[in-house]
Structure 1
């Protein structure tokens, strides 16, 4: 019997339907994360900087933002602070920092800015499932 790892991946979107926005300026990273989300059953929107995040939030409500820390025009920390300034608490999505740094002080900067969780690159499918399940626990 062949070892099919895709059978081990839950179609999380069936259990936890979410509107997800990916903020990532690197096209390769963007494709990788969108592909992982697709395997979980999600069709996410993608933008390449924090200003585009703010504009996307004005057009539509998102449950989750996967927010890259370092982007041109406006980075993740600044975008998160502006989200808290410009939107009401009921409009603010669950914001997950996505960064290549695993430094504890960077993690604290993310939480201080208002982010809810933290993922390091490269993002693994199990890591993403874990943070999405944390979000699920938060909304219960």
Structure 2
């Protein structure tokens, strides 16, 4: 059960915004336009996201910074009832327990989530795999 929550948190953190924007996220991350996201493209996207979330440039992301980034990306849309808080997402992959994410913690979480979402093990994520990953992180939160 705790492992499911961890997996959900990693997914929620790394693949924000949620289901409704999975196709848009796919298009942004698929930089070579081949219709799938490679591990390298996913890593680049996660690195870019970390930089955008780290508003003060101190090399770590707090829940407040994550909340501000989410609000900027999604606007003031109402939260889904199943969405994890930024603090919960951080807690799930914050390996040193300091309440913030370092670039290394974020990168490790991104790599782990990529592997979980790559259902066929081909080293690339299709739009269907990304959508399934979003759905899994949403439904796992409810368990």
TM-score (norm 2): 0.30
Q: Which structure would you say has the larger Rg? A: 1
Q: Which structure ranks higher in relative contact order (CA pairs < 8 Å, sequence separation ≥ 6)?
A: 2
Higher strand share: 1
